[in-house]
Structure 1
Amino acid sequence: MNRKTFLKNLTATAAGVTLLSPKKFYGQSTGVVTSESKVRTSGSKKAIVLGGGLSGLYSAYLLKQTGYDVTVIERGENFGGRISTYTNSELGIVQDLGGEWIGENQTDIKSLVKQLGLELANANVSERFSLSKNNTDLHKISGPSIDTLDKVIDLHKSLGTSQKQGLDKINFSSYARYQGLSEEEIRSMNELYRIILGADLNQISSESVLDDLSALQSALKPKYQVKGGAEQIIQSLLVQLKGQELLLGETAIKVSQQKNQVNVELSSGRTIKGNLVVCTLPSAAVLEIKWTPTLPKDLIYSALRMQTGKISKNICFVKSNASLTNFFQHTTTAAETFYVSDLAIGQNVTAVTSITTGDKASLFEKGSERQKKNLMVSALEELGNFELVLEKPFYFHSFQKSTGRSGFVSLFPPGSFGIKDVWNEPFERVFFAGEHLALHTGSMDSAVASSIQAISKT
């Protein structure tokens, strides 16, 4: 079944489903669903999903809609993967600490948000990412350089495979330099896009960047946010999965395939049997599993080639004032970039969010509370005009602690052209999904799109 037919059939099925309120949060506080909630049909088809992030939960939702009983296995302490939202109703503050922005043409995630009864709000920072002549004062790139970028982005759409392979051999910074952009302009683009990609453009294939810039679904073209925070998507999916088995703190250590059955052995000693597996784990985690039969060499090679960029988001609570509206500023400090979302502006207190990437992100992931506070204070001193409030003026969040993974955004360095392609076909009864395997990566939309692509082949 192709993707289009699958979506058409799913829409017809979902039309008869009454969605529950996303406020009825389910499954996050316990390692196993309660027996009261666990409603199984004897003899039904059984599927196992590895990974409880957006891609994993949406895959489980799609499988349930198509008649499967599903077991979701998540090694972390919470469902949601790279999605997490800080919410303080008393202060009137909502701030996403992981996946946050949704593009105008990211139709898969927009459809899911609508289907779950959630709403989108315009992201006030979105104009920052528009490479247009109207924004030359924001991104410090001249009009002629914008014209040059527009031409190469448009040209990319007509390139053949061999030409794209050639572009893939050099990083984007080098390519931009060859096209005549100045060092200041390249530095400005680096500052802008590393907060989405988790790395400088000199670490990423020029083919990968141009492919994203020329795509309608690109993560580099943010437009909206989910009202109430992106974690509402996770909570709503968990509600829809009531009656399925949702496991936290469990790690798959072995996957064995025999005829039409797949056995997944867990670190706890339990074995779960199913008719198929959907694996949404990061490539590095895939290699940590013992596979029987052995994982094909082309998948192993691809997994070894894939990399991830690091992003750390942290919050400073400051006294609200008019200057914080549309605030967005880069610094020379370890905290790197600060911005204020409209949803994070309370009546008296505003959450100013820092986005730190690469090696600097490791300082916030691994540093002590005192070290992290000192880093933030140093950054705020450079920015000036901020009055810290609350007894605890900082909120530090660590995905590395909650997921056990150090990298959070797919990164494709020079020489990685086509390495995702080998994951498109199933490995016997194992189907692969995840943000890193979508046609255009780095967004919540890519996580959802990869799930649709995988489940349509089951």
Structure 2
Amino acid sequence: MNRKTFLKNLSATAAGVSLLFPKKFYGQSTGVVTQEIKSKPSGSKKAIVLGGGLSGLYSAYLLKQTGYEVTVVERGDQFGGRIATYSNPELGIVQDLGGEWIGENQTDIKSLVKQLGLDLVNASISDRFLLTKSNSDLHKISGASIETLDKVIDLHKSLGTNQKQGLDKINFSSYARYQGLTEDEIRSMNELYRMILGGDLNQISSESVLDDLSALQSALKPKYQIKAGAEQMVKSLVSLLKGQELLLGEVAVKVSQQKNQVTVELASGRTIKGNLIICTLPAAAVLDIKWTPTLPKDLIYSALRMQTGKISKNICFVKSNPNLSNFYQNTNTAAETFYVSETAIGQNITAVTSITTGDKASLFEKGSERQKRNLMLSALEEVGNLELISENQFHFFSFQKTTGRSGFVSLFPPGSFGIKDVWNEPFERVFFAGEHLALHTGSMDSAVASAIQAISKT
């Protein structure tokens, strides 16, 4: 069944089902089943989903809609994967600490947001990512260089496989230099896109970057945010999965496949059996599992080649003022970039978010509370025009602690052309999904799109 047919059939199945949900329990303990499990008729179809991020939860929902009894296995102490939201209703502040932005043409995630009864608002800093002459002052790239970029981006759409493989051999910074961009312009693009990618453009294949820049669904073209925070999608999906088995604090250590059955062994000693598996784990985590039969060599090679950019978002609370509505500033400190979202502006207090990437992100992921405070205070000294509130000045968050992985967004270095294609076909009764496997990666839309693609093949 192809993707289009699957969606059409699913829509018919789900017709009449209300998606306006009351607030329900959202599991936050470890090693327990977080949903009531109703008795199931013998002989029912059973599926196991590895990973409780957006891709995993949406996969579980789609499986449930097509008649499966589902067990979701999540190693962390909460669902959502790389989605987390700071919310303070008393202050009127909402700020995403993980996946945040949605593009105009990212139809899969926009459709899900609408189905869940959530609203989108314009992202205040989205204009900065538009490579247009009118924005040349914002991103410090000349009009002539923007024309050059427009031409190569447009040309990329018509390139054949051999030409794309050639582009894949060099990083984007080198390619941009060859096209005549200055070092300052390349640095400006790097400062801009590392906020989304979590890595430098000199680490990423020029083919990968041009593919993103030429795609309507690209993560590099943010436009909206979810008004109530991206975590509301996670909570709504968990609510939709009432009656299914959702496990927190459980790690899959072994997967065995027989003719019509799969068996997953957990670190806790428990064994789960089913008819199929949807694996939404990061590629590196797939290699942590013992597989019987053994993973094909091309999957192992692909997993070893994939890389992840690192992003750490942290919040400092400052006194509100009219100048914060479009606030955005780069620094030469560990905090790197500060910005303010419209949803993070309260009446008296505003949450200013810092985005730190690459090796600097590890300082915030692994540092002590005191070390992180000192890093932030040093950065704010350079900014100079923000007035911290007197107490509870910061909110630090670590995906290293919640997911066990320091990576954030998938990156494809030079020489990686086509390495994710091998995951498109199932490994016997195992189907793969996740942000890193979508046609255009690096976004919440890619997580949803990959889930649709995987389930359509079951």
1:288 positional shift: 0.4
Contact 2:30 2:249 in 1 (8 A): no
Q: Deviations over 1:37-90 (max 9, x none)?
A: 545333210000000000000000000000000000000111000000000001
Shift of 1:117: 1.0
Describe the SS at the equivalent of 1:397: coil
Verify the 8 A CA contact 1:70 1:244 in the aligned structure 2. Answer: yes
1:437 is matched with which residue? 437
| Structure 2 letter corresponding to 1:414 | P
Counterparts of 1:454 and 1:261 in 2: how far apart (Å)?
Answer: 18
CA distance in 2, matches of 1:135, 1:452: 36
Residue of structure 2 equivalent to 1:233? 233
Partner of 1:156: 156
Distance 1:419 1:351, change over 3 A: same
SS at match of 1:325: helix
Percent identity, please.
85
Match of 2:370 in 1: 370
Rate the CA distance shift 1:198–1:22 in 2: closer, same or farther, 3 A.
farther
- The Cα of 1:163 is off from its aligned counterpart by 0.3
**Map of 1:319 onto structure 2:** 319
Report the residue type matching 1:103 in the other structure: G
Which residue in the other structure is 2:350 paired with? 350
Partner in structure 2 of residue 258 of structure 1: 258
1:275 aligns with 2:271: no
Measured after TM superposition, the shift of residue 189 of structure 1 is: 0.1
| Code of the aligned partner of 1:245 | E
Give the match for residue 399 of structure 2.
399
CA shift for structure 1 position 28: 3.7
1:384 counterpart = 2:384: yes
SS in 1 for 2:326: coil
Structure 2 partner of 1:249:
249
Counterpart amino acid of residue 178 in structure 2? Y
How far is 1:19 from its partner? 2.0
Report if the CA contact (8 A) 1:38-1:242 is conserved: no
Q: Secondary structure at the match of 1:317?
A: strand
Measured against aligned partners, the alpha-carbon deviations of 1:279-302 in whole angstroms (never above 9, x if no partner) come to 000000000000000000000000
2:107 corresponding residue in structure 1: 107
Quick one: which amino acid aligns to residue 167 of structure 2?
Answer: L
- Residue by residue, what CA displacement relative to the aligned partner does 1:13-44 show, whole Å, maximum 9, x if unpaired? 11121224253243344643367454533321
Distance (whole Å) between structure 1 residues aligned to residue 86 and residue 66 of structure 2: 33
Report how many residues are paired: 458
Change (3 A) 1:301 1:34: closer
What's the offset of the Cα at 1:192?
Answer: 0.1
Structure 1 unpaired stretches of 5+: none
In structure 2, C-alpha distance between the alignment counterparts of 1:286 and 1:36, rounded to whole Å: 29
Post-superposition offset of 1:330 = 0.6
- State whether residues 36 and 244 of structure 2, in contact with CA within 8 Å, keep that contact through their aligned partners in structure 1: no
Q: Which residue of 2 aligns with 1:93?
A: 93
- Comparing 100-109 with 16-25, greater Cα deviation is found at 16-25
Question: Aligned to 2:80, what secondary structure does the other structure show?
Answer: coil
**Which AA in structure 2 matches 1:118?**
L
Contact 1:205/1:413 (8 A) holds in 2:
yes
* Structure 1: distance between partners of 2:239 and 2:248: 16
Q: Which residue identity is paired with 1:45?
A: K
Asked if 1 retains the 8 angstrom alpha-carbon contact of 2:123 and 2:342, the reply is: yes
How far is the alpha carbon of 1:389 from its aligned partner?
0.7
The whole-number CA distance in structure 1 between the counterparts of 2:457 and 2:441 is 20
Residues 396-438 of structure 1: CA deviation (Å, up to 9, x unaligned): 0000011100101001000000000000000000000000000
- CA contact 1:438–1:449 (8 Å) conserved in 2: yes
The answer to whether the 8 A contact 1:173-1:186 is kept is yes
Aligned residue for 1:147?
147
Contact 1:194–1:357 (8 Å) recurs in 2: yes
Give me the TM-score of the superposition, normalised by structure 1: 0.99
Aligned to 2:308: 308
Structure 2: distance between partners of 1:307 and 1:63? 29
| Structure 1 match to 2:186 | 186
Aligned to 2:21: 21
Alignment-mate amino acid for residue 333 of structure 2: T
Partners of 1:15 and 1:31 in 2: how far apart?
A: 35
Distance 2:4 2:401 in 1: 38
The answer as to 2:65 corresponding to 1:69 is no
Confirm or deny: 8 A CA contact 1:6 1:456 kept in the other structure: yes
Residues 1:8 and 1:35: Cα distance change in structure 2 (over 3 Å): closer
Unaligned segments of structure 2, at least 5 residues: none
Cα distance in 1 for residues equivalent to 2:449 and 2:25: 24
Contact 1:317 1:390 in 2 (8 A): no
| 1:196–1:219 Cα contact (<8 Å) kept | yes
- Does the Cα contact within 8 Å between 2:139 and 2:188 map onto a contact in 1? yes
CA distance in 2, matches of 1:198, 1:223: 19
- Note if contact 1:38-1:245 (Cα within 8 Å) is conserved in structure 2: no
Report the Cα distance in structure 2 between the residues aligned to 1:387 and 1:80, rounded to whole angstroms: 33
Measured in 1, the distance between the counterparts of 2:450 and 2:266 equals: 25
Structure 1 distance, partners of 2:141, 2:370, is 38
Instruction: Name 1:299's counterpart in structure 2.
Output: 299
Q: Hey, what's the Cα distance between the residues in 1 that align with 2:300 and 2:30? A: 34
Distance of 1:221 and 1:25 partners within structure 2: 34
Provide the rounded CA distance (Å) in 2 between the counterparts of 1:57 and 1:93: 26
SS in 1 for 2:238: helix
Counterpart residue number, 1:416: 416
| CA–CA separation in structure 1 for the residues paired with 2:214 and 2:314 | 31
Aligned residue in 1 for 2:285:
285
